[in-house]
Amino acid sequence: MTLFPLFADLAGRPVLVAGGGAVAARKVALLLQAGADVTVGAPQLCEELESQARAGAIRRLHGVFDPQWLDGMWLAIAATDDRAANARVADAATARRIFANVVDDPELSSFQVPSIVDRSPLVVAISSSGTAPVLARRLRERIETLCDHALGPLAGLAARHRARIRAALPGMGARRRFYDWLLDGPVFGLLRQARPQDAEQALLGALADPQQAASPGSVVLVGAGPGDPGLLTLKALRALNEADVILYDRLVSPDILALARRDAERVCVGKRPGENHDATQARIHALLREHAGLGRRVVRLKGGDAFIFGRGGEELECLREHGIAYEVVPGITAALACAAYAGVPLTHRDHSQSVHLVTAHCRESEDTLDWQALASARQTLAFYMGVSRLDTVSAKLIAHGRDAATPCTLVENGTRPEQRVLTATLADLPARASEHGIRAPAMLIVGEVAGLAGRLGWFGSQLEAPRPQELPA
């Protein structure tokens, strides 16, 4: 270890920043966040620093660096664009035994400003000893995804009640278990839901009755998106890393499952063609109740978004009926992701002013759909799970007045490396899909915007370029 890691209390303490440009302004912003008494010395200040000086947020010294500027300072930062001037600041600070940082110049610096993950009062600092700042920045980006923004309020809540926690739980082991419960139990969950008063009441209730700190089970309904792990949300990733049990659908990609906590139990509960889907759903409900009832943190992982043709509402009804705590993490639904990866804007001011999300897989037959409304022009239709019903979709829309030449795009395995995109007319769609062997999972997009896939597509294979007359005018 070449540098000693140190967190400095600068509240109310004088710090000098030599330099008046954008780099200096960034350092000043960090120092002000820490409560430092900042003085900035430079011949000229950028607009941001000028504004702060006029407002009295910082003190200003006008001119080139003078060693007397360091009188009474605790730290110095040299942020000019002149290395020789920065060296003079560093040398003068060293002579006075004042720690100095020269921005982007570790050789002249006696301390480094790290990359920071700020969840105040929790702060994570990453340093490469000034040798690889890009590496430190990339590591900070990864840590950002793992640190929930509710960690700051949680740390603040624990700090406010620290004395009360020590008095109620004098034993070190009991306190450690209590702090684990704060992180794993309802207090953290309530803070995530922006309910700080309820979180504080839960903490106080557990101190009054330690039995309340026994971890109850809970369920997080997580949308995994259409397959590309890069489309997983930060909250979804955190849920996967906290799960004891993961109940996942058949179409959730292995790459996404690989991001989950290594020792989590994984249970595939996906529905398959030909199965009794109601019976499978009943089994899922039973598994949710069973694992949550054992005090486990359960992630119900669904492809796309759980509330778009994913029976998420039915599962929440079951959880609520049985008094099981839950939360929902939305996912990027297939219509949005597949269209984007195929280069199809779902809305376009010249071609489409509305979007309909449609599935024929409902409790009744597809005859319950309002085909007359769906056949209207200048709107986009996104059909989920429609590959086996292409003949029906094509025939019904044409019969109810949709132009047979309307462009359509089929996106097979959307967002995955094996994605294929087929563009055809509404009339030709079933035959062309059969010719190319299109299989589920595939998203069907119907409407004038679908003709743009040939020009705007950027990902995966384009099976057929659309004919010129199929493109929107």
Catalytic residues: 249, 271
What does the chain come to in residues?
A: 473
Question: Dihedral of the CA atoms 262, 264, 270, 275 (nearest 10)?
Answer: 130
Strand ranges inside 144-228, DSSP E: 218-223
Q: How far apart are the first and last CA of the chain?
A: 65
Residue whose structure tokens are 């100095």 = 100
- The dihedrals phi and psi of 77, each to the nearest 5 degrees, come to -125, 125
Closest CA to 20 of 42, 50, 36: 42
The whole-angstrom separation of Cα 80 and Cα 433 is: 63
Give the CA count within 13 Å in the CB-facing half-sphere of 463. 19
Residue-wise DSSP of 66-132: -GGGGTT-SEEEE--S-HHHHHHHHHHHHHTT-EEEETT-GGG-SS-PPEEEEETTEEEEE--TTS-
CB atoms within 10 A of CB 19: 27
Amino acid at 214: A
| Interatomic CA distance for residues 158 and 152, integer angstroms | 10
Token look-up 């890393």 returns 241
SS3 state of residue 287:
helix
Between CA 21 and CA 112 the distance in angstroms is: 19
Distance in angstroms (rounded) separating the CA atoms of residues 370 and 210: 57
Exposed/middle/buried for residue 241 (C-beta within 10 Å: 0-12, 13-18, 19+): middle
Segment (H or E) for 339: helix 334-342
Tokens of 473: 């005018």
Roughly what angle, to the nearest 10 degrees, separates helices 151-160 and 172-184?
Answer: 140
Query: What is residue 11's DSSP assignment?
Result: T
DSSP secondary structure letter of residue 472: -
- Report the C-alpha gap between 104 and 82 in whole angstroms: 12
